[in-house]
Copies of this chain bind each other. A is one copy, B any other.
Amino acid sequence: MYDFTKPVANLVNELRKIPGIGTKSAQRIAFYLLKTDKEKVMALSESINNAMEKTRFCKICNNITEFEICEICEGKGRDITKICVVEEPFNILSIERTGLYKGMYHVLAGNLSPIRGVGPDELKISSLERRLNSGETEEVIIATSPTIEGNATAIFLFDLMKRKDIKITRIAMGLPIGADLDYVDSVTIAKSFEGRIEFK
């Protein structure tokens, strides 16, 4: 049966390994790359190499950084008594964009997932515990996703830390702003009831 010419089929296969890229997207990206000027593709190649060579994980929080310690861990004017635990480095940017949180972060580099073979040792949990032992931390805000795996990770972290004299919180789950109640799933509505806040 007819298929792409081999180098293209290989490229499509390689692209499909990237999470979130399915066959159709991989095909589109492959043909975009083949149609585009060599210089533009080289610019992409270079930026990949550059990012891989120049970046590493922050020794404290596992954020991606150009230096030994990331901008936030190094940064002045941040509240060192709070640590917000996130799954991935890009979660930090999402939270920073709110402009609301001025504490520190800790990147787990994933969620617990027995199915995918990700246990506590695969995540950056022991380095979080070491940070908490320093005694500076007053609150740990668990900001893993409201998914099965994100919740399991949150519960695991809570069990691990509850004996320490530290306030442990979880970001609120509820209706997203602008949502129409009729179009929100019932689990979310249930969560928004459970987490309801008194008018003051």
> What residues of chain A have their CB less than 8 Å away from a CB belonging to chain B?
1-8, 10-11, 13-15, 17-21, 25, 27-35, 38, 40-41, 43-45, 47-55, 64-66, 70-72, 88-90, 92-93, 96-97, 99, 109
Chain B residue contacts of A38, Cβ below 8 A: 52
Q: Give the docked Cα–Cα distance between A7 and B49 (Å).
A: 9
Chain B residues with CB under 8 A of A44: 14-15, 17
- By beta carbon, the residue of chain B nearest A13 is B47
Copies in the complex: 2
B residues near A89, Cβ cutoff 8 Å:
31
Task: Tell me the dominant secondary structure on chain A's binding face.
Answer: helix
| Cβ-neighbour of A52 out of B2, B25, B34, B66 (below 8 A) | B34
Q: Are A66 and B2 in contact (CB under 8 A)?
A: no
Residues of the B chain whose Cβ atoms lie less than 8 Å from the Cβ of A28: 19-20, 90
Which residues does chain B contribute within 8 Å of A41, judged by CB atoms?
Answer: 48, 52
Among candidates B30, B45, B53, B64, residue contacting A5 with C-beta atoms closer than 8 Å: B64
Given contacts A5-B66, A93-B3, contact A21 B14 (CB under 8 A): no
Given contacts A2-B72, A31-B90, contact A11 B50 (CB under 8 A): yes
